[in-house]
Chains A and B, each alone.
Chain A
Amino acid sequence: MALGPYAAFIVTSYALVTAVVLILIVWIAVDYRRQQARLRELEASGVTRRSGRTATDI
Chain B
Amino acid sequence: MTLIDLANPTKFLSLTARLLPPLAGATAILLLIGLAQAAMAPDDYQQGATVKIMFIHVPNAWLSMFVWGVMSVAALGTLVWRHPLADVAQKAAAPIGAAFTFLALVTGSLWGRPMWGTYWEWDARLTSVLILFLMYLGLIALWRAVEDPSRAARAAAILTLVGAINLPIIKFSVDWWNTLHQPASVMRMGGPSLDKAFLIPLLVMAVGFSLLFVTLHLAAMRNEILRRRVRSLQMMQASKQAA
Contact = CB atoms under 8 A, between A and B. Distances in A.
A17 B60 contact: yes
Contacts of B111: 9, 13
Most interface-central of A13, A16, A23, A32 (chain B CB within 10 A): A13
Contacts of B102: 20
B219 interface: yes
Interface string A1-43: 1111111011011101100110111001101100110110010
Interface residues of B, number: 41
Given A21-B212, A39-B233, A9 B103 contact: no
A30 to B, nearest CB: 10
Contact of A24 (B107, B216, B223, B229): B216
Nearest to B222: A32
B110 A42 contact: no
B151 to A, nearest CB: 21
Given A9-B110, A20-B103, A32 B226 contact: yes
Given A9-B50, A13-B111, A58-B10, A35 B230 contact: yes
Contacts of A14: 52, 56
A43 B220 CA distance: 22
B233 A47 contact: yes
A46 B195 CA distance: 63
Contacts of A20: 99, 102-103
B230 A9 contact: no
A58 B17 contact: yes
Contacts of B114: 5-6, 9
A28 B219 contact: yes
Most interface-central of A6, A12, A23, A29 (chain B CB within 10 A): A6
A42 B96 contact: no
Interface of A: 1-7, 9-10, 12-14, 16-17, 20-21, 23-25, 28-29, 31-32, 35-36, 38-39, 42, 45, 47, 49, 55, 58
